[in-house]
């Protein structure tokens, strides 16, 4: 049995095609074979160089190419040189197009771009968790966006919501008894958004929070006087920074997030494509 060369040609990584090759070859009792993977084949000259190499061997070509010109070129060359070849994408793409009545993008590396978006989202979520509630002020300089506000102004839910849009968010609680971190005043004010709420809404939310914790609703945390002091303290800091202030009272997370995204666009802050 002559040595078999399986050529895997892809406009992306070619990992899927290589795995198909390995799964197929495992069905045979043979050791005289080699899988040669060629990734990111994005120009015709490179493709032809690979095909000429395959011509000189006992080869099979397995490919995942979305560029129709490249596919036609490969099929023509293989037909002229009697090289068996398998297209792993075109039939399925055509079936999907037929069933959905939509045209494929035929964009090389599309799945890799989707993977990159996924990992950016995961990175942003991990960032939001790591720098939630002022855990580490050093993260402020790395953030795409910094949210500041007193307790119960939706800082954490908004951080997580925006993280799912690939935005790295850090948030800092503003408490009269605790000095705001110096790093906050070193951040570009255009990257900072202040959050506030109405005293009535905060009283209601905090009272329910105390009940959930089994604590007395008369605690200072929920008192109007305390809430007014916190709001005054926080808004004073926000004015010093010069950042926009959003009142989240009676706003859904999605609505507040939409306002924040508009502010970021207006301020020229990069927003990652979802």
pLDDT in tens, 209-235: 888 888 887 788 989 999 999 999 999
End-to-end Cα distance, the chain: 52
Question: Do the annotations mark residue 214 as ligand-binding?
Answer: no
Collapsing DSSP states into helix, strand and coil, what is residue 195?
Answer: strand
Q: What is the mean pLDDT of residues 168-181?
A: 95
Q: Are 157 and 35 members of one domain?
A: no
Residue found by looking up tokens 């609680």 in the block? 173
Tens of pLDDT, residue by residue over 257-272, are: 999 999 999 988 877 6
**Helices assigned H by DSSP within the chain:** 15-25, 44-55, 68-80, 90-100, 110-130, 155-163, 199-212, 224-241, 253-266
Q: Are 194 and 98 members of one domain?
A: no
Residue 271 lies in a domain: no
Q: Are 127 and 83 members of one domain?
A: no
Residue 257 lies in a domain: yes
Question: Do the annotations mark residue 156 as ligand-binding?
Answer: yes
d(CA 130, CA 26) in angstroms, rounded, equals 45
Residue 49 lies in a domain: yes
Question: Do the annotations mark residue 194 as ligand-binding?
Answer: no
What local confidence, expressed as pLDDT, does residue 10 receive?
93
Question: Do the annotations mark residue 153 as ligand-binding?
Answer: yes
Question: Do the annotations mark residue 121 as ligand-binding?
Answer: no
Q: Are 240 and 161 members of one domain?
A: yes
Q: Are 61 and 172 members of one domain?
A: no
Res. 93: pLDDT tops 90? no
* Final residue in a domain of this structure, among 108, 143, 159: 108
Q: Enter the tokens of residue 271.
A: 């927003």
Residue 39 lies in a domain: yes
d(CA 161, CA 30) in angstroms, rounded, equals 53
Residue 89 lies in a domain: yes
Number of domains in the chain: 2
Which domain, by its residues, includes 196?
116-266
Residue 274 lies in a domain: no
Residue 272 lies in a domain: no
* Final residue in a domain of this structure, among 108, 142, 172: 108
User: CB within 8 A of 155, min separation 6: which ones?
Assistant: 132, 133, 147, 148, 149, 171, 172, 173, 195
Identify whether the C-beta of residue 14 lies closer than 8 Å to the C-beta of residue 37: yes
More confident residue, 222 or 8: 8
Question: Do the annotations mark residue 12 as ligand-binding?
Answer: no
How confident is residue 274, by pLDDT bands cut at 50, 70 and 90? very low
Q: Are 95 and 208 members of one domain?
A: no
Question: Do the annotations mark residue 152 as ligand-binding?
Answer: yes
What local confidence, expressed as pLDDT, does residue 215 receive?
84
Collapsing DSSP states into helix, strand and coil, what is residue 22?
Answer: helix
User: What CATH code is carried by the domain that includes residue 219?
Assistant: 3.40.50
């Amino acid at each position: 049995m002559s040595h078999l060369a399986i050529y895997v040609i892809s406009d992306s990584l070619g990992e899927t095609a290589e795995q198909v090759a390995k799964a197929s070859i495992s069905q045979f009792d043979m050791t005289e074979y080699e899988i040669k993977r060629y990734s990111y084949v994005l120009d015709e000259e490179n493709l032809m160089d690979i095909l000429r190499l395959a011509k000189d061997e006992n080869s099979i070509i397995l490919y995942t190419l979305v560029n129709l010109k490249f596919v036609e070129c490969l099929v023509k060359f293989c037909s002229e040189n009697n090289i068996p070849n398998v297209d792993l994408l075109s039939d399925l793409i055509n079936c999907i197009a037929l069933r959905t009545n939509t045209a494929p993008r035929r964009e090389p590396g599309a799945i890799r771009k989707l993977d990159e978006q996924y990992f950016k989202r995961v990175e942003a979520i991990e960032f939001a968790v790591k720098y939630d509630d002022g855990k580490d002020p050093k993260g402020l300089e790395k953030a795409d966006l910094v949210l500041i506000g007193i307790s119960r102004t939706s800082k954490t839910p908004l951080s997580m919501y925006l993280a799912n849009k690939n935005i790295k968010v850090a948030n800092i609680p503003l408490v009269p008894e605790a000095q705001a971190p110096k790093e906050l005043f070193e951040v570009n004010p255009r990257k900072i958004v202040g959050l506030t709420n109405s005293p009535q809404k905060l009283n209601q939310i905090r009272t329910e929070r105390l009940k959930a914790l089994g604590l007395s609703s008369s605690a200072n945390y929920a008192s109007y006087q305390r809430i007014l002091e916190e709001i005054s303290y926080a808004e004073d800091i926000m004015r010093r920074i010069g950042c926009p202030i959003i009142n989240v009272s009676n706003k859904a997370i999605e609505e507040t997030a939409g306002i924040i995204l508009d502010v970021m666009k207006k301020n020229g802050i990069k927003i990652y494509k979802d």
